[in-house]
Each structure stands twice: as C-alpha cells, then as structure tokens.
C-alpha cells in the first residue's frame, strides 16, 4: 500500500467536477477549498465526453488549467480515468460494447456505466484514455494518486461475456466433466457436451443452476479485476511513483470480491453511504471502516511461516496500512430506497467522518465538492450546497477541515483488534440463491448482526477474509483470540482444518447456522449439518427448520430466536441455551465445545439482539478480549489508535442525552486537558491524545 504522493497528514476533499461549471466558478471553488482546508480532490471521474468529444480527438486544455489552478492553491489531485461512463459516440460506434441484461435486453447510453467490461472495443478505448492521461499528467506536480474507473460493479450477459466466461471456466475446471460434476449437471438435465453450450446465467424458465450463478459472479469479479489491472499497469508503467486505486462500493448486488481485489490496489478506498433511516448508520459506518481496514492488511505469504508471538503477527498484529474513505455524503443522498432523500441532521457528517478516521481512514472525502445544478444527481448533497457558501452545510465543511487539521500525526496510529468476524463474498452470493431453505437470510445482514453485537459490547473487530489468502497460503488468525463466523456457507477442507488448529491452540470460535454447510461448489456436505465444522463444534444437525419472517422461537435464559432453527444433536458439545417451544423443545439451540486451549460455539438460530450481545460478551471475556473502554456508558462508542507509547482515544456519544465518560488526555479538538471526566453532548465527540 502506498500513500498519495506529496500528502502527509489526513486527506480532506472529494469529487471535484469542474467540467460542470464555467471557469469563473473554479476560482471561487479554489478560494472556498482553501477556506475549508481541503487538500485533495478527485478530478475527472465522469469527464470522458469532455476529454474526448470525438474518437481520438482529445480536449484537455481545460483539465490542464484545472490541475494548474489546484496546484497553485496547494491542493493535490486524485486523477480519475473516466472509464465508468463512455461518451455517446462510443456506444454508437460500438453497439456490441453496450451491456445486455440477463433477459437479453441491450441497454443504451443516456445514463452512466453503460458499457460491457468484457467488450474488446471498450477495453481498448479504456486503455487509450488511461494512456493519454498518464502521458499528459505524469509530471504534473498536483498528481497524487490515480483513481481508476468508478465503483466497478456493472454486469453484462452479451456474447463477449459468455466467451470470457467459458475461458474462465476452462481454466477452473480443465474438462467439461468436472464442470458438470461441480454444477451438479445431472439435476434437471444440465450436463454440457460442448463448451460452446455453456452461457452466462441468462433469464431462464425456473430456478437457475446455483453453481453456474456462483461461478458467474466469481468470474465477473475476476473479469472486472482484469479490466482494472490493465489500466493500473499502464499507469504504473508511466508513473511508477504514483499509487493507483479504485473506489469500492458496498451492496449485495456488487459482483466484486473486494477482499481478493485488495492485493491489486495500492490503497484500499471505499465509498460509504449508510441508510439514514434504519437507525444503524453509526454501526454501519464502523462496519464499513472495519472491513476497509481489514482488506488493507497485507496478505499472508504463500509459504507457511513459523508462528511468532501474537502481537507481532497475524490479523491484527500486522501494522495497519493506510486506507481511505473516498466518498461519503455530506448530507442527503440523491435518493433513498424508499424514494425520499432523507437529510443528515446537522453534525452527523462530522461524527461519521471522524468515526471513519477513528477506525483507520486517513481522511474523509465526499461526493461531491459542489452540488450540481442539473444532471441525474442534482439534489445529492455536496460540501458546497446549492445555497452556496453562506449555508449551514458549508460552515460544517469548514469545521470538518479545522477538526481534521487538529488531528496532526494521528495517521501514525494503528487500530488493534483481537476479535474478528469472517467475511466471504462468495458465501454471500451463494446464499442469494432462491433454492435455499429460506429467502429471508441475507449474508450482509448476518454479518452486520454479529458486528452490531460486538459493537454494542464496545469491542473493535477486524474481518478475516479467506478470499484474500493467496493460493498455497493459510488464513492467518494468529493475532485474534476470538472469531465469529456468521453464515460462512461455503467452506473448503483447508479452511475447516485451519480453523480447527486455531481453536486447538487457544482460539474462541463462534459459528452461526449456515456456516460450513456447503463445499466451494455450493454442494451440500453430507452426513449432517454443519458439514465441514461438525467435528470441531461437536454437534450434528439432521434438519433445518427455518422460521418465517415474523416467526420466533423461545429459548432458555429468556432469549428468543428468529429466522432459523435446527435439530441439533450433541456430539461432544454441551448445550448453553435450549429451544423451549415448538417441535424442537428441549433440544440444544446454542452449544459450546472445549477444544484444546480454546472453545468452539455453535449458534443454531438468530439470537435476539441483547442475547447475541450477551453471548459474544461471554465469549470475549473467556477469550480475554476486552472492550476499548470498559467503563464507557451505553450509547458511547470508543475507538483507540495506537503508535508506540502514544494513543488517540475517540469517544462518540450516539445517544440523545448528555453523558459523562471516565477518560483523561489532551483534547485535540478544544486544546483543553481532560482529567478523569469528559462530558459529551448528544451527538458529541472528542479525540483525546493519551500517553
């Protein structure tokens, strides 16, 4: 991971789209950026039609002037390749490069992201424009980093994609017989006798083949990665000193395995737009930041290394590498899922930005600098709103710049977690298949529930990502004492074996339903659930008995389960909670098995929130994983970054009442010294420098 060239402290800024404005506005922009202490802007993300209005005719003088102006103002630039939005001339010249939906409809220009990432004409054009930009700006002093494309995430089902899919499948399976076997082709007469018969999972009569769908998503993530890598390699060749990244987008529709991609970017950069309406934006912020930090950890080396002491090794022992919140919304998102653009109340933008910094982001960047007056996202919020600089929003923009500037050398501090949650994009994709026993299980929701339980316990977590492990290497859990695996559905024998070794050596593992049930080809492991983990957990389930969306089941200890139930039999584990009602009354619901120096827990239903928290708090205590600030009152989030003898303690009051927290240190925001007590207003936060 490399840091943007020429930038030392925290980054502050966002997407800057000067091509939408007359040049007089640029001068005002610069003055306002300086007033707000903006030091980094992303330029050119959607500028292709302005940069190349006709095939091969480049008009870059305006971009020269923008970069010069920014440089004169001391502002660095993340220069984007504009390949997420080819100009209209491109789609007319190359209709075969327009994307095709699963039901065969070819889409047309008139929005953004309307291209097929596997079409040779698109890839050629993308390489050409990236080369042009790199040649022209390689020596520009404002250039700090490259931002390839924008939020890779579109799919296509055209002939180019089908061909590339077949090539990928040939590499994976070698011969068609192995594909037929992996895809269970003998079910519903789906055995292929020629590679040419294999297509992408297009619209079909009834349920699609689950492994075909899963392999398509794996393939498409790799294909998009290849498109990114092509551009990255051009940029690296022409500007070896300039780091290259792309911005990750969140969502279960995203066909990208970000953990796998992390090895190919110089800096993990995320865009994060949590829902403003479900009351979970603060925890979602923490989750996104924890994922980004975990994705940015170096992958373990392929050759198994001898295990040194936990503090110097493993997940959390590895020094944190920089990652960056590349986009977030200063206020309203252009439209929420329910059709309303909800506003972020005053102060929340500051709190969310600092929450990302607390968990390792080296700054806070936004979409976008100045609110557009037209175009599809004209009511999306911006650091400079439609009302202009004389506005509450811009005053907050200035305040955030002042706050970030006061945090000084904080980016030296690393976040250390001793607890981790498993993260596996492919398991999430596999669980989306409608053939599963319940359509009400969402992987993202299962992961979020585990994270939320630990977040409420005040425990900072990393994510352990099997997909980030290069071939031949092992998932490195040595820095962790506790690991939660929510619905890690697909499990290889190797992963199951390494989990077993880790638990035996003292790890505390909590496994939820739908983990280890299937092999990497999404075929059920036979002999009882949860297949790959049965022996380690000391349980065997014969049957799944999912509950309806509103269904509940009573458990001992006054707890309630939802969504899922299983007929669990103890084979070495002991019951912690039992089912109390229904057909499973008296059978174990939550179990624990001591294993070597550690323990393996199985949770066969979705515990109610207090129950999940209570359980994970018990496991954490057993594992010796402490909250960041055990005395923090409810509703206060505490996160610590540490560098040698120094540390920075972030405290956020997410509640609606004033609270007093027991803490001391130099308050970086007010310059005062806190000795023993810190008062936090509702929505208030503080950053204490401690020694």
The residues that are catalytic are 151, 327
- 327 belongs to the binding site for ligand GAL (CB under 6 A): yes
Judged by beta carbon, residue 111 or residue 656, the one nearer ligand GAL is: 111
Cβ at position 327, least distance to ligand GAL in Å? 5
User: Smallest distance, Å, CB 269 to ligand GAL?
Assistant: 11
Give the bridge partners for 678, in sequence order. 661
User: Nearest to ligand GAL by Cβ — which residue?
Assistant: 367
Query: Of 113 and 519, which CB lies nearer to ligand GAL in the complex structure?
Result: 113
At a CB cut-off of 8 Å and minimum separation 6, what does 190 contact? 180, 183, 184, 209
Three-state secondary-structure class, residue 598: strand
CB of 424 to ligand GAL, least distance (A): 23
Break the chain down into helix, strand, coil percent, rounded to 5. 35, 20, 45
Report the b/e string of 230-263 with b at 16+ CB within 10 A: bbbebbbebbeebbbbbbbbbeeebbbbbbbbbe
Q: What is the DSSP string of 171-187?
A: HHHSSHHHHHHHTTTTT
| Closer residue to ligand GAL, CB minimum distance, 364 or 482 | 364
Does residue 569 touch ligand GAL according to CB under 6 A? no
Minimum CB distance to ligand GAL smaller for 327 or for 411: 327
Residue 180's Cβ-count burial label (10 Å; 0-12, 13-18, 19+) is middle
**Please, what is the end-to-end C-alpha distance for the chain in angstroms?**
28
Rank residues 380 and 565 by Cβ distance to ligand GAL and give the closer one.
380
**Would you say 250 or 502 has its CB closer to ligand GAL?**
250
The smaller minimum CB distance to ligand GAL, of residues 254 and 403, is found at 254
Identify the CA nearest to 357 among candidates 420, 410, 299, 317: 410
* CA–CA distance, 109 with 111 (Å, rounded to integer): 6
- Report the nearest approach of ligand GAL to the CB of residue 630 (Å): 38
Segment contacting ligand GAL by CB under 6 A, of 326-334, 439-447, 477-485, 592-600: 326-334
CB of 147 to ligand GAL, least distance (A): 10
The helix (run of H) or strand (run of E) holding residue 610 is: helix 609-623
Residue 380 lies near ligand GAL (rule: CB under 6 A) = yes
The site string for ligand GAL over 338-367 (x = CB under 6 A, - otherwise) reads: -----------------------------x
Site for ligand GAL in 199-228 (CB under 6 A): none
Task: Choose between 2 and 334: whose C-beta lies nearer to ligand GAL.
Answer: 334
Q: Rounded CA gap, 522 and 187, in Å? A: 14
Per CB under 6 A, which of residues 603..632 are in contact with ligand GAL?
none
Residue 151 within binding range of ligand GAL, rule CB under 6 A: yes
- Provide the minimum distance between the beta carbon of 506 and ligand GAL in the complex, in angstroms, as a whole number: 42
d(CA 408, CA 426): 39
Handedness of CA 416, 420, 421, 425 (dihedral sign): positive
HSE toward the beta carbon, residue 145, CA cutoff 13 A: 30
DSSP string of 260-329, one letter each residue: HHGGG-SSEEEE----SSSS-HHHHHHHHHHHHHHHTSPPPPSSPPP---GGGSHHHHSPPPPEEEEE--
Count CB neighbours of 191 within 10 A. Answer: 16
Q: Which is nearer to ligand GAL, 91 or 150 (CB)?
A: 150
> Under the criterion CB under 6 A, does residue 276 sit at the interface with ligand GAL?
no
Least separation in angstroms between residue 619's CB and ligand GAL is: 36
- Cα–Cα distance for residue pair 43/34, rounded to 1 Å: 17
Q: What number of chain residues touch ligand GAL (CB under 6 A)?
A: 10
Least separation, in Å, of the C-beta of 364 and ligand GAL? 15
- List the one residue from 2, 202, 236, 334 that touches ligand GAL (CB under 6 A): 334
**In the complex, what is the shortest distance from the CB of residue 326 to ligand GAL, in angstroms, rounded to a whole number?**
8
Window 236 to 255, contacts with ligand GAL (CB under 6 A):
249
Q: Which stretch binds ligand GAL (CB under 6 A): 327-335, 623-631, 636-644, 646-654?
A: 327-335
CA nearest to 600, candidates 517, 536, 540, 539: 536
Query: Are 638 and 629 within 8 A, CB to CB?
Result: yes
Residues at the site binding ligand GAL, with contacts judged by CB under 6 A: 150-151, 249, 271, 327, 333-334, 367, 377, 380
């Amino acid at each position: 991971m490399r840091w943007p060239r020429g930038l030392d402290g925290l980054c502050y800024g966002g997407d800057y789209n000067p091509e939408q404005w007359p040049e007089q506005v640029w001068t005002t922009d610069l003055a306002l950026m300086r007033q707000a202490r903006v030091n980094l802007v992303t330029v050119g993300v959607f500028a292709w039609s302005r940069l190349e209005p006709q095939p091969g005719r480049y008009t870059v003088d305006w971009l020269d002037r923008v970069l010069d102006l920014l440089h004169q103002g001391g502002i660095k630039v993340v220069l984007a390749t504009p390949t997420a939005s080819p100009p209209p001339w491109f789609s007319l010249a190359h209709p075969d490069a327009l994307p095709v939906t699963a039901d065969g409809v070819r889409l047309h220009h008139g929005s953004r992201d309307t291209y097929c990432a596997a079409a040779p004409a698109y890839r050629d054009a993308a390489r050409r424009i990236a080369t042009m930009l790199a040649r022209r700006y390689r020596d520009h002093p404002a250039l700090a980093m490259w931002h390839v494309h924008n939020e890779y995430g579109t799919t296509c089902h055209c002939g180019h994609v089908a061909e590339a899919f077949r090539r990928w499948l040939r590499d994976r399976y070698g011969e068609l017989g192995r594909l037929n076997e992996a895809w269970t082709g003998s079910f519903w007469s789906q055995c292929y006798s020629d590679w040419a018969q294999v297509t992408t999972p297009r619209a079909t009569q009834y349920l699609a083949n689950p492994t075909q769908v899963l392999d398509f998503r794996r393939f498409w993530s790799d294909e998009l990665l290849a498109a990114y890598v092509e551009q990255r390699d051009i940029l690296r060749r022409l500007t070896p000193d300039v780091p290259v990244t792309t911005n990750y987008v969140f969502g279960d529709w995203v066909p990208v395995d970000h953990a796998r991609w992390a090895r190919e970017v110089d800096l993990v950069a995320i865009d994060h737009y949590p829902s403003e309406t479900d009351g979970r934006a603060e925890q979602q912020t923490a989750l996104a930041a924890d994922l980004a930090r975990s994705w940015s950890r170096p992958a373990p080396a392929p050759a198994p290394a001898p295990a040194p002491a936990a503090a110097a090794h493993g997940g959390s022992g590895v020094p944190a590498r920089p990652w960056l919140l590349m986009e977030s919304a200063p206020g309203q998102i252009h439209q929420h899922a329910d059709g309303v653009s909800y506003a972020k109340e005053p102060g929340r933008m500051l709190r969310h930005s600092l929450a990302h910094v607390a968990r390792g982001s080296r700054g806070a960047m936004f979409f976008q600098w100045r609110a557009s007056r037209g175009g599809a996202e004209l009511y999306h919020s911006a650091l400079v709103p439609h009302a202009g600089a004389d506005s509450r929003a811009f005053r907050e923009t200035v305040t955030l710049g002042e706050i970030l500037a006061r945090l000084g050398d904080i980016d030296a501090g690393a976040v250390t977690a001793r607890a981790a949650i498993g993260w596996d994009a492919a398991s999430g994709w596999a669980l989306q298949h409608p053939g599963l026993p319940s359509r009400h299980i969402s992987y993202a929701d299962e992961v979020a529930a585990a994270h939320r339980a630990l977040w409420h316990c005040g425990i900072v977590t990393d994510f352990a990502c099997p997909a980030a492990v290069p071939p031949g290497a092992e998932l490195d859990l040595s820095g962790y004492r506790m690991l939660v695996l929510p619905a890690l559905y697909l499990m290889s024998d190797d992963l199951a074996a390494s989990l077993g070794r880790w638990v035996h050596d003292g790890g505390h593992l909590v496994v939820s339903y739908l983990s280890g049930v299937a092999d990497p080809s999404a075929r059920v492991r036979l002999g009882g659930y949860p297949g790959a983990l049965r022996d380690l957990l000391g349980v065997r389930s014969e049957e799944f008995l999912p509950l309806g969306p509103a269904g509940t089941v009573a458990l001992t200890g006054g707890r309630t389960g939802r969504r899922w139930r299983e007929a669990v039999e103890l084979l070495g584990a002991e019951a912690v909670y039992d089912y109390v009602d229904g057909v499973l009354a008296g059978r174990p619901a939550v179990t624990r098995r001591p294993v070597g120096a550690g323990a393996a827990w199985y949770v066969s239903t979705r515990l109610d929130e207090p129950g999940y928290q209570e359980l994970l708090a018990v496991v954490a205590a057993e594992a010796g994983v402490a909250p960041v600030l055990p005395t923090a009152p409810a509703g206060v989030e505490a996160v610590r970054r540490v560098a040698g003898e120094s540390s920075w303690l972030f405290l956020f009051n997410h509640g609606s009442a004033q609270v007093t927290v027991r803490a001391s240190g130099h308050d970086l925001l007010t310059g005062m010294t806190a000795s023993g007590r810190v008062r936090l207003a509702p929505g208030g936060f503080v950053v204490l420098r401690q020694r």
